[in-house]
Amino acid sequence: MNIGPQSMTAQLQALHRGMKARLCAADLDAIRLSDEQLLSTGAGRDILQPGAIAPDFTLHDQGGGQVRLTERLAHGPLVLLFSRGGWCPFCTLQLRAWQSALGELHEAGGDLLAILPQQNALCCTTAERDLLAYPVLSDPGSQVAAQYGVLTEVPKVVRPFYLRLGHELPRINGTDDWRIPLASTVVVGQDGRIALSHADLAAPNRMEPDRALDAVRALSRPGESGQD
């Protein structure tokens, strides 16, 4: 699968380098301290591992319709893409990369659900802006993200930087807090068990679509699902 002249990871890394080159020392320090604080709290360590039962959920998609995990699993394996939100340039790149991979995912017998903490109207805006043909689900209060062990909170040290960029997350998400999911990918088999999962604090470190596609294909061959 090709999403362009570079892999998604290479594109994410290039975006990361470009953003760092434009930031002042104070902002870079705030981001570094934020990452250190998240690392010290063990963010990402609680993500559900292969073999665990995927918690069922029902969320609204960008069109206002209800999407239930177990009903979708009746048609094939699923890739769950937990995204910080449409405001995040790294998440935007990933959402678009998965749109490019969607045809191959369907050919493999799978489907994709993107899960964002932002309000439903903003999920609709994100889907329209990025021409996403898969469900973009609103997760109010990040309750589903919490069930999957990928919920975290933006440290206070970096919130002024977010606000200067217009990323007022309580307003965007319709909450009174700064909780968001880590960018995470979870592959779920039709038996309702997790086959593959990945979460990482570093913005460029996300599971390549090819790896998730391989997991979806392997689900029809016993013993070939795996752990990150």
DSSP secondary structure letters along 94-145? HHHHHHHHHHHHHHTT-EEEEEESS-HHHHHHHHHHTT--S-EEE-GGGHHH
Residue 103 has φ and ψ, to the nearest 5°, of -60, -45
Q: Residue 222 has what pLDDT?
A: 54
Q: What is the pLDDT of residue 134?
A: 98
Residue 104 near residue 213, CB atoms below 8 Å: yes
Active site residue 88: no
Treating both helix axes as pointing N-terminal to C-terminal, what angle do 89-107 and 8-22 enclose, rounded to 10 degrees? 170
Q: Which of 220, 221, 216 is nearest to 195 (CA)?
A: 216
Dist CA 118 CA 138 (whole Å): 6
Name the residue ranges covered by the structural domains of the chain.
8-218
pLDDT of residue 144: 99
Residue 171: its pLDDT value, please? 97
Q: How far is CA 61 from CA 125, 172, 228, in A?
A: 12, 16, 28
Between CA 137 and CA 221 the distance in angstroms is: 30
pLDDT tens by residue, 141-190: 999 999 999 999 999 999 999 999 999 999 999 999 999 999 999 999 99
Return the pLDDT at 42: 83
Tens of pLDDT, residue by residue over 5-32, are 469 999 999 999 999 999 999 999 999 9
Q: How confident is the model at residue 126 (pLDDT cuts 50, 70, 90)?
A: very high
Catalytic residue among 88, 91, 123, 124: 91
Q: Check residue 228 and give its pLDDT.
A: 53
Give the pLDDT band of residue 227 (cuts 50, 70, 90): very low
CATH number of the domain at 8-218, please? Answer: 3.40.30.10
